[in-house]
Structure formats: C-alpha cells, structure tokens
Chains A and B, each alone.
Chain A
Amino acid sequence: MKRIFTLMLLCCRCSTLALADPGAPQEAVIVRMRLVVCPGPQHSFMMALSGSARVGPQDPCPEYTLLTEKIAYIVIGRASNQLVPLAETTKFRFQNREMLIRAGDSNHESHFMIKEMLLRSEWERVQQRNDAEARVISLREQETDSERNTK
C-alpha cells in the first residue's frame, strides 16, 4: 500500500514538474543513447494481418535519455534515421504526448515517443548502483582469474 502511494506521488510530481506548460520550450542534456527495436505503429497487428505493414526485422531506432534539472526522460524515435545532434544542451517541447526535439540550429523538430520519465535523483541513484555492480563483477572476475592462474 505504501509503495503504491509513493508511486502515485512520484507520478503526480513528475507530471506537475514536466507538464506545467507542456508546449513551452525546455532545455535538457542528452546523457545516454542506444539503439533499440522500433516502436510499432498503434494498429500494427491489424496492419500485419491485412498485409499492409512490413513484418520482420527492421533497422533499430535511437533511444535517448535526456536530463532536465529535475526529470529524466527516456524517449524513442520512430525511425532508424531519427538522429539528433548530441550537443551540450538540447531544446525540446511537448506536443500531443510526444517530445519534439529540435535538431541542431535548424527549426526542424523531431518527434519522439516518451517511454519513461522519472525523477532525476532516482535516475542518478540507479546509474550509481549499476556502476557499482559492474565494478564488483569486474573485481570478482579478476579474483577468479587470479585463482585459476595460481592453481
């Protein structure tokens, strides 16, 4: 019960922070990028059945993690070529539940689907934990290697 309440509180806080003025331009820094499976169209199942959609392996789509002062956003592009410049600061705004990221100095905006949003402090805690775990695994592997060498 307590967990559910905390989650609800977090969601409310995120939405009030992020969507105070959704159309207003904001600034963030892109800190992570990876290529993931592209999100399918909303009616992909029906389209696949009707033969109008391409079924099978596709080129991956870019997924970015953007940090604002208080929120971390994870967004996914809808096409493989939807790359944005990795400048120090990135301008974006919200429109119809999507994030519109400005591509460089031009006025062109690229549409991204919002996959996840969480408090920046929470995101940073997760990253620190992941890095600490990676260090521990690396040390364990070293110990195993040295044990093998001594035997």
Chain B
Amino acid sequence: MLWRLCALAAPTEIPEATYRTKVSEVRVTFSATDRYDHPIANLKPDDFAVVDREVIVRNFRSFTRAEFTQLNISVLIDASASVTPHYREEILQVIDLLSRTAGVPEEDLSIASFRGLEAMAICKGNCRASHAIEQLPNSRSTGLTPLYDTLISAADSVPQNTDPQARRVMILFSDGEDTISKNAASDAIESLLANDIQVYTISPGRGDNAFLQDLASATGGRVFRLSEGASKVAEAVLSDFHASYQITYKLPYHSTGFHPIRILPTHDLNLHFRCRRGYYYPAGRQ
C-alpha cells in the first residue's frame, strides 16, 4: 500500500524528505577551575567525565566553549539581613561592576528586595547602580523572612529561557536564614533548577550558611562573603560567564525523574567543575 502511494506521488512532484529521530540528549553547561580557583581556558573533553545517575559518561556528542552572548542578571536583596552602610555600598559596587561590563545590556539587569512578607522590584530592565542607589533599603527590617518563598516567586517571574545563548544568573544578598516560608528549602532549590538559574550568594556574616552553600552548589554557582569584596564577586560571575563549556551526550539511563549529575576529573584531581546538580527526565520520552 505504501509502495503504491509512493509510486503515485512520484511522477508529479518529489515529496520533501522528512527524517524523524527519537534522541534523548542531555546538555550540560559547566565551568572548570584549577586548585587556585582560576578558570581553565583550555579544557579538553578527555579531562573529565560525567556521572549521570551513577553511570559514567566519557563519550560526548559535542564539547564546545559555551557561546553565551547574553547574561541575564537578577539581584535579590534580603533586607532583613544586616543592611549596614557597608553592606549597601558593596551591593551597589557589585551592581556597578556588572552593569559596566560588555555583554550585559541595561535591559538584562533586574534588582528586587524583600523585607517582611513584601517583595519589591527596585528596577526591572533599566537597572544601573545610579538608578538603584535611591531605592535600596536603608534600614534593617525586623521580623519575618520568607526567603524560600521569595526565591520561588523570583525564579518563576524570570521568563523562560528560550535563547540558548543567554545565561541566567541570580545574585542573592542574604544571610540564608528563613523564618516563615510555606515552602521548604528543597522546593526553592528545585524551582531554581527547573528554571535553569545559576545562583551566586553573598552573605554579610562570617560563618557559612548551609542553605546558601547548598543553593549555590546545586545550581552551579558560588558562595561569597561580603568581606571578600565586590570585585571578587563580579569577577567570578563574569569569569564563569566567559569560561563556560557545554557538552551534550546520549541519555545513559532511561529512568524518569531526577537525574543527579557530577563532573569529575579523569586525570588531574586538582580540577574542580561546577554545574547544576541535575536535570529532570520526564515520563514517556524514549
């Protein structure tokens, strides 16, 4: 029957060939640093392997420097943290350094703060340090801190990333303490992962906060303390942006749900790789 249909169609016009293939491919963006935390610019595909749900993947379909041309930055400020004049100044310096960088157009920088149960957009799409300076909170807010809920709504408010050349980054100024959220810490991390947002956290205190560590590590970001200085934070965000790699590989295991991933060295154990904690493989994709 099929043959007859083809034979009938042939004399009049040549049908356009349509090739269909069912391929489950995983795409991972990551950055690599050496033992001194310096980005590695000449990484080779045999320098690392991916552990995808326990399966070790060494054969990649593609390996390229990530050709990001756009950096979408959203800055989220927890006003219940210590908003001392020094803290305020550092926030402005980070924003200033990032906004003066080539590749970060004005419309891609948004700033929001939250205090108590209210989140406030300081500027959206027209952010410069000079614009933000007037609206940054002056005083420390006391009371409730719905950090996890705010992170979820901030992640959901970022438009879906349809441009493969755009990288979405959140810079969170917070001490990592939550007092009232309806959602759990894991929900906040899951929401940021689902929206493919890389989180850099900057805490005012000296101690390490477990949630901030977990958040940054899960999303492929980094943890900083305010005492390390604005330039170090901005430098890290930009060096990760410029020295990222992208790999694709065939899905190694057709199990639905969350696939945790890790990137580990194949030769030099001093290499460190940062990437998101994993991805979701939906049901029914074969």
Q: Which residue of A lies closest to B53 (CB)?
A: A34
Bound CA span A135–B266, Å: 30
Are A138 and B54 in contact, with the CB atoms below 8 A? no
Mind listing 19 A-B residue pairs with CB under 8 Å?
Answer: A30-B56, A32-B55, A34-B54, A85-B264, A85-B265, A85-B267, A86-B56, A86-B266, A88-B266, A103-B269, A104-B268, A104-B269, A134-B256, A137-B255, A138-B284, A139-B284, A141-B256, A145-B284, A146-B284
B253 interface contact, C-beta 8 A: yes
Residues of A within 8 A of B49 (CB): 86
B163 CB → nearest A CB, Å: 29
A135 with B286, Cβ < 8 A, contacts A85-B267, A86-B265, A104-B267 known = yes
Bound CA span A18–B221, Å: 44
A-B pairs under 8 A by CB, number: 67
B58 interface contact, C-beta 8 A: yes
A87 with B51, Cβ < 8 A, contacts A131-B254, A138-B256, A145-B283 known = no
Residues of A within 8 A of B283 (CB): 138, 141-142, 145
Q: Which residue of B lies closest to A145 (CB)?
A: B283
Residues of A within 8 A of B268 (CB): 85, 104
A117-142 to B contact mask, C-beta < 8 Å, 1/0:
00000000000000100110111011
Bound CA span A33–B265, Å: 13
B285 interface contact, C-beta 8 A: yes
Q: Which residue of B lies closest to A135 (CB)?
A: B254
Residues of A within 8 A of B266 (CB): 85-88
Which of B46, B51, B269, B284 is A142 in contact with, Cβ under 8 Å? B284
8 Å CB interface, A69-112 against B: 83, 85-88, 103-105
Bound CA span A19–B253, Å: 32
Number of interface residues of B (CB under 8 A): 22
Known A83-B269, A86-B58; 16 more pairs at CB < 8 Å: A30-B56, A32-B54, A32-B55, A33-B56, A34-B54, A83-B264, A85-B265, A85-B268, A85-B269, A87-B266, A87-B267, A137-B255, A138-B284, A142-B283, A142-B284, A146-B284
Are A141 and B284 in contact, with the CB atoms below 8 A? yes
Residues of B within 8 A of A12 (CB): none
A138 with B267, Cβ < 8 A, contacts A33-B54, A86-B49, A86-B58 known = no
A55 interface contact, C-beta 8 A: no
A31 with B55, Cβ < 8 A, contacts A85-B267, A86-B264, A105-B267 known = yes
Residues of A within 8 A of B56 (CB): 30-33, 86
Bound CA span A135–B281, Å: 12
B277 CB → nearest A CB, Å: 13
B55-77 to A contact mask, C-beta < 8 Å, 1/0:
11010000000000000000000
Are B284 and A33 in contact, with the CB atoms below 8 A? no
Q: Which residue of A lies closest to B283 (CB)?
A: A141
B170 CB → nearest A CB, Å: 27
Bound CA span A144–B241, Å: 41
Q: Which residue of B lies closest to A138 (CB)?
A: B256
A47 CB → nearest B CB, Å: 28
A63 CB → nearest B CB, Å: 9
Bound CA span A110–B31, Å: 28
B254 CB → nearest A CB, Å: 5
Residues of A within 8 A of B253 (CB): 131, 134
Bound CA span A85–B269, Å: 7
Residues of B within 8 A of A131 (CB): 253-254
Q: Which residue of A lies closest to B262 (CB)?
A: A33
A121 CB → nearest B CB, Å: 19
Residues of A within 8 A of B48 (CB): 86
